[in-house]
Amino acid sequence: MNLHSLLNVLLLLYLVSFPIALEVNKKVLKGKNKKFNQAMKMGRKVHPVVGVVLVLSGALHGYLKLGGQFMFHTGSLLLIALALNGLLGFIYRKKRLKKLALFHRTLGFIIVGLFLLHYFNPWFFL
């Protein structure tokens, strides 16, 4: 795994850890830890930015690894899912529909599965 791939993995880990931290704050800490609340407030601002950076970085990663050629493989599917999830997140931010939030989180779980598929078998479709 090269440095660029590691960066993408770390970005994805941050994105996945954020909703987990929100649940811990709500259910375990009951929202009473001031420092954790401050971190969550900053995390709400950073989360969408990290998502955009991951989509752009993932596209660059695919472009560089495939020598500028487009080939459909697990990374392509992962990138499409990430972009769709980002779009859902932005729409949720404007509309505040609970179904969108649920779909955003569900797609997050699917993205983790797609990442694992991509990591262990990038040419699964060929």
**Is 125 a member of any domain?**
no
**Is 59 a member of any domain?**
yes
pTM of the complete model: 0.93
What is residue 123's predicted lDDT score, i.e. its pLDDT? Answer: 94
SS (H, E, C) the chain: CCHHHHHHHHHHHHHHHHHHHHHHHHHCCCCCCHHHHHHHHHHHHHHHHHHHHHHHHHHHHHHHHCCCCCCCCHHHHHHHHHHHHHHHHHHHHHHCCHHHHHHHHHHHHHHHHHHHHHHHCCCCCC
What is residue 88's predicted lDDT score, i.e. its pLDDT? Answer: 96
Structural domain total, the chain: 1
What is residue 1's predicted lDDT score, i.e. its pLDDT? Answer: 82
**Is 126 a member of any domain?**
no
Low-confidence spans in the chain with pLDDT less than 70: none
Domain that holds residue 59: 3-120
**Is 74 a member of any domain?**
yes
What is residue 21's predicted lDDT score, i.e. its pLDDT? Answer: 95
